[in-house]
């Protein structure tokens, strides 16, 4: 997992050309970026959406196998809870169709790490990073978000 400011993307240039292309897209995205899917290259797509954050994400944690998630907000704020998937209990098995498995936290284990996502910050979430996005900080808030899917090499 990586959590940083968009201003620091040059640090991540060496991770992969696809991740760097995704971060460059985020650097230029604005609240006026249209919602929908934007194909950046055959291995990278950006999904821009709008929704209201919530106190509880009923889906629980999610993790992906085929894609790395890069998440950033264009408007609003939200929290993302994060835990390694080996600390979580699978509630819905992996689906090839949606590239996701869903999990619940084991109540005995430590509390999750929380990322406060707001404009100018991003999170890179790898297949081993269980994450629960769309959480409200205090009260539900409308957000505009970009999730970039980068194919795992």
Q: What is the CATH number of the domain that holds 122?
A: 2.60.120.370
28-44 burial, b for 16+ CB within 10 Å, e for fewer? ebeeebeeeebebeebb
Q: Give the model confidence (pLDDT) of 37-89 as tens digits.
A: 999 999 999 999 999 999 999 999 999 999 999 999 999 999 999 999 999 99
Supply the pTM of this predicted model.
0.94
How many domains does the chain divide into? 1
d(CA 29, CA 68): 19
Domain span at residue 126 reads: 2-151
Q: Considering the chain, what is the average pLDDT of its residues?
A: 96
Overall average pLDDT of the 123-145 stretch: 97
Q: Would you place residue 109 in the very low, low, confident or very high pLDDT band (cuts 50, 70, 90)?
A: low
């Amino acid at each position: 997992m990586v959590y940083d400011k968009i201003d620091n993307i040059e640090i991540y240039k060496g991770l992969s050309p696809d991740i760097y292309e995704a971060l460059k897209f985020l650097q230029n995205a604005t609240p006026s970026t249209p919602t929908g899917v934007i194909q950046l290259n055959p291995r990278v797509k950006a999904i821009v959406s709008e929704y209201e954050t919530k106190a509880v994400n009923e889906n629980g944690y999610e993790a992906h196998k085929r894609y790395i998630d890069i998440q950033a907000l264009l408007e609003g704020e939200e929290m993302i809870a994060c835990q390694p998937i080996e600390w979580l209990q699978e509630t819905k098995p992996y689906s090839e169709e949606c590239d996701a498995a869903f999990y619940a936290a084991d109540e005995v284990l430590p509390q999750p790490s929380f990322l406060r996502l707001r404009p100018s910050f991003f999170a890179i979430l790898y297949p081993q990073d269980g994450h629960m996005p769309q959480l409200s900080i205090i009260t539900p808030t409308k957000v505009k978000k970009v999730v970039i899917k980068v194919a795992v090499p």
